[in-house]
Amino acid sequence: MIVCICNNVSDRKIEQAVSNGTTSMAQLRECLAVGTCCGKCHSHAKQVLRECLSLQ
Protein backbone atom coordinates (compact mmCIF):
# COMPACT_ATOMS: atom_id res chain seq x y z
CA MET A 1 0.00 0.00 0.00
CA ILE A 2 1.20 3.52 -0.77
CA VAL A 3 1.94 5.53 2.36
CA CYS A 4 3.31 8.71 0.81
CA ILE A 5 1.46 9.62 -2.37
CA CYS A 6 3.60 12.67 -3.09
CA ASN A 7 6.81 10.66 -3.20
CA ASN A 8 5.35 7.27 -4.15
CA VAL A 9 6.57 5.48 -1.04
CA SER A 10 4.91 2.18 -0.12
CA ASP A 11 4.85 0.36 3.20
CA ARG A 12 7.07 -2.23 1.50
CA LYS A 13 9.71 0.42 0.83
CA ILE A 14 9.58 1.51 4.47
CA GLU A 15 9.94 -2.12 5.51
CA GLN A 16 13.02 -2.46 3.28
CA ALA A 17 14.53 0.73 4.70
CA VAL A 18 14.05 -0.61 8.23
CA SER A 19 15.73 -3.89 7.33
CA ASN A 20 18.60 -1.79 5.97
CA GLY A 21 19.04 -0.05 9.31
CA THR A 22 16.59 2.87 9.33
CA THR A 23 15.24 3.50 12.83
CA SER A 24 13.75 7.02 12.76
CA MET A 25 11.49 9.31 10.75
CA ALA A 26 14.47 11.58 10.12
CA GLN A 27 16.33 8.72 8.46
CA LEU A 28 13.21 7.72 6.50
CA ARG A 29 12.90 11.29 5.25
CA GLU A 30 16.53 11.24 4.20
CA CYS A 31 16.43 7.96 2.31
CA LEU A 32 12.88 7.90 0.89
CA ALA A 33 11.77 11.55 1.13
CA VAL A 34 8.65 10.44 3.08
CA GLY A 35 6.63 13.44 4.24
CA THR A 36 8.78 16.05 2.51
CA CYS A 37 6.01 17.44 0.30
CA CYS A 38 2.49 17.96 1.75
CA GLY A 39 3.32 16.17 5.02
CA LYS A 40 -0.09 14.46 5.28
CA CYS A 41 1.51 11.01 5.39
CA HIS A 42 3.65 11.74 8.43
CA SER A 43 1.54 10.00 11.09
CA HIS A 44 0.82 6.97 8.88
CA ALA A 45 4.50 6.67 7.95
CA LYS A 46 5.43 6.90 11.62
CA GLN A 47 2.96 4.14 12.46
CA VAL A 48 4.33 1.89 9.68
CA LEU A 49 7.88 2.60 10.87
CA ARG A 50 6.94 1.69 14.44
CA GLU A 51 5.29 -1.56 13.28
CA CYS A 52 8.33 -2.52 11.19
CA LEU A 53 10.69 -1.80 14.09
CA SER A 54 8.60 -3.89 16.48
CA LEU A 55 8.84 -6.85 14.11
CA GLN A 56 12.64 -6.69 14.01
Interface residues with ligand FES (CB under 6 A) are 4-7, 35-41
In angstroms, what is the minimal distance from the CB of 29 to ligand FES?
A: 10
Cα–Cα distance, 25 to 49 (Å, whole number): 8
In angstroms, what is the minimal distance from the CB of 14 to ligand FES?
A: 12
Identify which of residues 1 and 56 has a Cβ nearer to ligand FES in the complex. 1
Q: Which residues contact 31 (CB under 8 A, 6 or more apart)?
A: 17, 22
In angstroms, what is the minimal distance from the CB of 12 to ligand FES?
A: 16
The amino acid occupying position 18 is V
